Amino acid sequence: MTHPAPVDVPTRDLFRLDGRTILLSGGAGAVGLCVGKAILESGGDIVLLDVAQSPNAAQWEDIEETAKINNTKAFYYQADVTEAETIPPLFDRIREDVRFPLRGLVACAGISGEGDAVDYDINVFRKILDVNVTGTFLVAQAVGRDMHRANVTGSIVLIASMSGWVSNRGINTSAYNASKSALHQLTRSLAAEWGHPQNTFPGSTPSDTNPNPSMEPRKAYPPIRVNSLSPGHIETPISEAARKRGLTDEWARQNMLGRVSQVQEFRAPCLFLLGEGSSYMTGADLRVDGGHCAW
């Protein structure tokens, strides 16, 4: 049986996230903090994960003040998303601390590295894929398990990039581009698995990942929607080096709006994908790039 459409949700509530906890990996970064604050303002509680031991003090104070004003809650945990063995016990802690089940994920954790392909350090290449792809999968997997455990619907947003659609003109970032293209495919694959039990044939062929496959029908769970969001170039504190090289001005000339985006411009797209306003959207990529890829 399919999950019913939320046709009775008032229009004013299509972007609301009341009674939900949303997890953000890379939560101490510019996008994570900005989107996290927007979630608090929309009625949701947030869990921020980041490799940093603690968030910036002034920014965290702003987050806590926002939570207080909106009667919401914010939690922060230090975590390396690539350390698979630490993820389950971390989620056990989170489950004990939060007041509402996890109903959403915004996977922001990611790194890049410029370098010519013929000289690219293979260890750096592997690290970028490990953080951007494997780390994203591990967090999405843990969130999916938690949603199944709580028997709730949910929405997962993987922060990809327009660089998963096109190569970055004038800057050599083959590992980053490959990783973001992989997130587009990971989005489609998870959306297919978690949208409806009939999306997967019964049983499976024996393999290293599934040595003793069952032929029983898979257990039915409420649907988890999975979409990706592909930003264009974003003005953030870490783009200072790009500004000094004149790259920011060049990037602005490469899109239809003639400017680089601001982190605040990704609040509404994330809220849309997390909330009931996008209830019939899954397996899709929402490209917010100022028309960069359409030119």
pLDDT at 1: 57
Residue 152 in any domain: the answer is yes
User: In which residue are the tokens 């990809």 written?
Assistant: 160
Q: For residues 160-172, give the mean pLDDT.
A: 94
pLDDT at 204: 81
pLDDT at 212: 85
Residue 82 in any domain: the answer is yes
Residue 205 in any domain: the answer is no
* Residue 225, beta-bridge partner list: 155
| Domain extent at residue 181 | 14-200+219-290
The pLDDT confidence band at residue 259, using thresholds 50, 70 and 90, is very high
Residue 213 in any domain: the answer is no
Amino acid at 119: D
Residue 212 in any domain: the answer is no
Q: For residues 69-91, give the mean pLDDT.
A: 98
Res 60 pLDDT > 80? yes
Residue 2 in any domain: the answer is no
- Number of domains, the chain: 1
DSSP strand pairing (21-25 vs 224-231): unpaired
We report the CATH number of the domain holding residue 188 as: 3.40.50.720
Residue 130 in any domain: the answer is yes
b/e string for 27-58 if b means 16 or more Cβ within 10 A?
Answer: bbbbbbbbbbbbbbbbbbbbbbbbbeeebeee
Compute the Cα dihedral for 50, 51, 53, 58 and give only its sign. Answer: negative
Residue 211 in any domain: the answer is no
User: What pTM was computed for the model?
Assistant: 0.96
Res 238 pLDDT > 80? no
Show which residues are catalytic: 176, 180
Q: Are 16 and 24 in contact (CB under 8 A)?
A: no
pLDDT at 237: 77
